[in-house]
Amino acid sequence: MLARTSKVLLPTLIAGYIAVVTMVIWGMSAWRQTVVANLSTPEARAAWDQARTELSQEDGTHGPVQRVAPRSPEPPMLVLLRDYFPACVFGLLAPLSALYAFIGWISWGVLRQAGHNRSMKPGSRR
C-alpha cells in the first residue's frame, strides 16, 4: 500500500507544483501587462505629475503626519513591474515553493502514516 501511495503522490505533487508555478507566472504577466499599459498613458502620467505637485505644495499642517513628495517622475508601480518584474516573480515564487514543499512533506507523512497503520495486523506489535 505504501509503495502505491508513493507512486501516486509524488507525480501528483510535482504536477500540482508545475500547475501552481505556471498559474503564478501567467497571472503576474497578465497583471503586469495591464498595469504597464494603464500607467504608461499620457493621462496616467499627468495624474501622477499632478499628485506629485500637490504633495510638494503640502506644508504638513493639515494632518498628523507630514507627507514627502515622491521624487520619481513615474509611478512606483510602473517602475516596479516594468523594470523589476523578474525580481517580483522570484520574490513570490520563493516563499510559495517553500510553502508548497512543506505542504507536500506533511501530505507525504500523513499518507505514509495512514498506510503504515493499515498494514499492521490487529494484535501484532512492532
> pLDDT confidence of 119, banded at 50, 70, 90?
low
Q: Inform me whether the pLDDT recorded for 5 exceeds 90.
A: no
Q: Which tens digit of pLDDT belongs to each residue from 25-60? A: 999 999 999 999 999 999 999 999 998 888 888 766
Q: Which residues, at least 6 apart from 120, have a Cβ–Cβ distance to it below 8 Å?
A: 126
Residue reference for cell 505644495: 57
Tell me the CA distances in angstroms from 9 to 2, 15, 26, 30, 124, one per residue in order. Answer: 10, 10, 25, 31, 28
In angstroms, rounded to a whole number, what is the distance separating the alpha carbons of residues 126 and 122?
A: 11
